[in-house]
Amino acid sequence: MRVVLREGGISRRALEVLPRRLDSIAQLRSLLHGARHLAGVVAAWWVFSVLSLGIQAAEEPPALNPFGKVGVEREDQFPGYIEMSDGSIHCGMIYLTRDKRLQINDEKMQRQREIPLNVVQQIECKVKREWMEKEWKFKELAKDEKMYTGRSYPAREYEHVVTLQDGRKIEGGLSGVVYLQPQIYDPKRPNEYRPAVEAQKFLLHKRDKGEVGEELKSLKYVKLIKLGDEAYREGQQKSKNRPAPAKPAR
């Protein structure tokens, strides 16, 4: 910037131009500062976007091959089949609730025992007794007197025989939950589409009852559970040989 010096101070022209020049310099500095700030914001946004994409990719599970073989997701599941009282057969991988064991009241030893599933060969259910229970209700809310409604429902008590891998048998009352993951993979057709299938839930009872108006035959129960590769093949064969259910008459 050119400033004319005269005796006694700065010229009037310089005094008029100087403030405008100073304003221009201040604006230029402000613009440069804003540009640097904007560049920093853009750079930070870019870095954040890259990191977000990386985190999202890391959190997403690997893609599932719908034509591939079902992988073993749990170390405590075993091949086998479950046979119901109506004759239906369910084959697949059988397991219990994680960290749970079978709890059976050993009648011979007169105490409750906990049995891990990996030492079990089969579980057989026997009907101890069954009957049609009458439905009763209180005659009046304020009294203990009951009256028969004329309706009934099925009731049944069970006894289970657990056969261990070494051949020993434990008999008694057993209650629990068993899960079965169906295996729909066929090694002869590896490229066939494999849809996702949810695990089936089966209840083991000491005692069970049905709804009012039902018959005993409608009260289904788990009749047999067999574990092992040979048992799985046996279940597949029994399922193939089972006759198809009769169609209801029109």
Instruction: Supply 39's token pair.
Output: 């560049």
pLDDT bucket at 148, cuts 50 / 70 / 90: confident
Mean local confidence (pLDDT), 82-106: 94
Cβ-based neighbours of 124, under 8 Å, separated by 6 or more: 160, 161, 163, 223, 224, 225
Within-domain flag for 216: yes
Helix or strand holding residue 104 (H, E): strand 102-106
pLDDT over threshold 50, residue 171? yes
- 32 and 112 belong to one structural domain: no
pLDDT over threshold 80, residue 244? no
pLDDT bucket at 64, cuts 50 / 70 / 90: very low
- 53 and 85 belong to one structural domain: no
- 229 and 194 belong to one structural domain: yes
With contact defined as beta carbons under 8 Å apart, do 206 and 175 qualify?
yes
- 43 and 106 belong to one structural domain: no
pLDDT of 146: 82
Q: Show the domain range for 49.
A: 5-59
DSSP 60: S
Within-domain flag for 215: yes
Within-domain flag for 224: yes
pLDDT of 168: 94
pLDDT of 48: 63
Mean local confidence (pLDDT), 2-29: 51
pLDDT of 190: 55
Average pLDDT, the chain: 77
pLDDT over threshold 60, residue 32? no
Within-domain flag for 135: yes
pLDDT bucket at 186, cuts 50 / 70 / 90: low
Continuous H helices in the chain: 12-59, 229-241
Cβ-based neighbours of 159, under 8 Å, separated by 6 or more: 125, 126, 127, 128, 171, 172, 173
Within-domain flag for 181: yes
- 154 and 46 belong to one structural domain: no
- 19 and 135 belong to one structural domain: no
Within-domain flag for 167: yes
- Looking at per-residue pLDDT, the higher value among 72 and 47 belongs to 47
- 118 and 230 belong to one structural domain: yes
Instruction: Supply 8's token pair.
Output: 């006694």
- 84 and 12 belong to one structural domain: no
pLDDT over threshold 80, residue 88? yes
- 53 and 95 belong to one structural domain: no
pLDDT over threshold 60, residue 212? yes
pLDDT bucket at 116, cuts 50 / 70 / 90: very high
Within-domain flag for 91: yes
pLDDT of 57: 46
Within-domain flag for 19: yes
Q: How many domains does the chain have?
A: 2
pLDDT of 1: 44
- 120 and 46 belong to one structural domain: no
- Looking at per-residue pLDDT, the higher value among 127 and 185 belongs to 127
pLDDT of 189: 60
- 40 and 99 belong to one structural domain: no
pLDDT of 230: 95
- 88 and 55 belong to one structural domain: no
218 phi/psi in degrees, rounded to 5: -80, -10
> Can you tell me the distance from the alpha carbon of 119 to that of 138, in angstroms, rounded to the nearest whole number?
49
pLDDT over threshold 80, residue 59? no
